[in-house]
Amino acid sequence: MPNIKSAKKRVLIGEVRNARNKAAKSELKTAIKKFEVAAAEGNRTEADGAYKVAVKKVDQAVAKGILHKNTAAHRKSAMALKLNKIG
């Protein structure tokens, strides 16, 4: 444990940010999994809705610095391909 007051504060801030990032990552994974399940079932209407939510979560993760923009583009592209295969 740090002795300096500012270092103690940095530890607390880091814990808060870590919890916030973990929650955001969990939301992102959940949204992507919901899309994957809907796509696997072949339910186009449900997959469309889940796709929109998942893409929004991916974009929010990029804005928050949780995902790299190229990783986000890769994931969105993969989801779009799966959505188009449902037909």
Residue with tokens 């796709």: 51
**Domain annotation for the chain: domains and CATH numbers:** 5-86 (1.20.58.110)
pLDDT digits (tens), the chain, 87 positions: 899 999 999 999 999 999 999 999 999 999 999 999 999 999 999 999 999 999 999 999 999 999 999 999 999 999 999 999 997
The pTM for the full model equals: 0.85
Q: What pLDDT does residue 1 have?
A: 83
Q: What pLDDT does residue 50 have?
A: 96
Q: What pLDDT does residue 55 have?
A: 97
- Tell me the C-alpha distance between 62 and 54, whole Å: 13
> CA nearest 78: which of 58, 49, 64?
58
